[in-house]
Amino acid sequence: MEFKDKVAIVTGAARGIGAATAWTFAKRGATAVIVDINGEGAQKVAADIQAKGFNAIAFTVDVSNTEAVDAMVEEVFQKYGHIDILVNNAYISGGYAIVTETSQETWDKVIAVNLTGSFNFAKAVAKKMIPQKSGKIINISSGAGTSGSLSSGVQYPASKAGIIGLTLGLAGDLAPFGINVNCITPGLIRTWEPEEMAKQATGWTLEKVESYIAVEVPLKRVGEPEDIAETVVFLASKAASYIVGEVINVDGGGVIDSVAKRESLLGF
Ligand SMILES: NC(=O)c1ccc[n+]([C@@H]2O[C@H](COP(=O)([O-])OP(=O)(O)OC[C@H]3O[C@@H](n4cnc5c(N)ncnc54)[C@H](O)[C@@H]3O)[C@@H](O)[C@H]2O)c1
């Protein structure tokens, strides 16, 4: 139980990758602090974890609300006396529109949740980790933050590239205090069933999801939330204690360029 008595805050943990990460930490002994704007969903994940005999607590917080984040982090610190791990995972996509049709409101909202939300939590938690001289911060970016995405508009890749920059800035600031800050760039992860995924990814049909996996992912399968959760837990573990400012692709090899990809793009 490597994480026994550790306190791990996971944002956006009412579902998907965040929920899987909270479960993975809890199963290994940590108290999972489940944060989400969806309070009902967060409570349900916490209750399910507790029902299995593990430790969890839920908070309803909008990560873009600085005062709410500060108050929540203070409450967790007062309750447990330490905060060991932060996973910045909460996000919204803003949907797809060509840049000329992308509203200022969509841009502002996505940057506020994805990027400012990660800054808010990192700042509040760093104030607790610095005096402890220990801590792990793992930021969830996306392959869209390094390679862009033809179905995500401009706001989502911009916010996710910003998270990589935030990671590097935080890593340099906080490493001298014994705090490791790193980042994960997931590929396509099954946070919905394929049919639902096709509906969620704007303009994508089920066939398109399947052909994307066939062409873009050398491992020939969609990623599971646990694939990301296990990498998060590794980065929070002692095994990763000399890793700082790293950006890790967890995408089944999707980062690898291939003839098949180019052929598919060129329509051969
Ligand atoms: N699923 C994928 O294919 C994929 C691919 C690349 C990157 N990612 C990244 O992984 C992370 C998790 O993705 P997911 O697919 O599990 O997402 P998801 O949509 O299943 O879950 C996101 C969670 O964030 C919460 N949230 C949204 N706005 C919030 C706010 N203002 N405050 C607090 N919580 C808020 C939602 O309520 C939801 O529970 C995201 O950062 C995403 O960019 C996912």
Q: What is the pLDDT of residues 128-137, one digit of tens each?
A: 999 999 999 9
CA distance 146 to 134: 29
On whether residue 104 sits in a domain, the answer given is yes
Residue of 91, 96, 156, 212 marked catalytic: 156
On whether residue 70 sits in a domain, the answer given is yes
Tell me if 226 sits within 8 A of 260, measured CB to CB. Answer: no
On whether residue 74 sits in a domain, the answer given is yes
DSSP secondary structure letter of residue 195 = H
Which atom of ligand 1 is nearest the CA belonging to 223? 3
On whether residue 198 sits in a domain, the answer given is no
Give tens-digit pLDDT for 71-130. Answer: 999 999 999 999 999 999 999 999 889 999 999 999 999 999 999 999 999 999 999 999
Which range is most confident: 164-168, 199-203, 217-221?
164-168
On whether residue 262 sits in a domain, the answer given is no
Residue 39 CB–ligand 1 contact under 6 Å: no
Give tens-digit pLDDT for 211-266. Answer: 888 888 999 998 999 999 999 999 999 999 999 999 999 999 999 877 666 666 65
Residue 22 CB–ligand 1 contact under 6 Å: no
Give tens-digit pLDDT for 34-45. Answer: 999 999 999 999
Residue 44 CB–ligand 1 contact under 6 Å: no
On whether residue 268 sits in a domain, the answer given is no
Count of domains forming the chain: 1
Domain coverage including residue 166: 7-191+225-256
Question: What's the CATH number where 175 sits?
Answer: 3.40.50.720
Residue of 31, 25, 23, 24 lying closest to 49 (CA atoms)? 23
Best residue among 155, 191, 213, 232 to mutate for probing ligand 1, ranked by most atoms within 8 Å of CB: 191
Nearest CA to ligand 1 atom 28: 91
On whether residue 204 sits in a domain, the answer given is no
Residue 142 CB–ligand 1 contact under 6 Å: yes
pLDDT attached to residue 157: 97
On whether residue 138 sits in a domain, the answer given is yes
156 annotated active-site = yes
Here the contacts of 145-154 (C-beta below 8 Å, separation 24 or greater) are 145/185, 146/185, 146/247, 146/255, 147/255, 151/96, 151/201, 151/202, 151/203, 151/204, 152/93, 152/96, 153/93, 153/94, 153/95, 153/96, 153/97, 153/98, 153/99, 153/102, 153/106, 154/99, 154/102, 154/107
Residue 188 CB–ligand 1 contact under 6 Å: yes
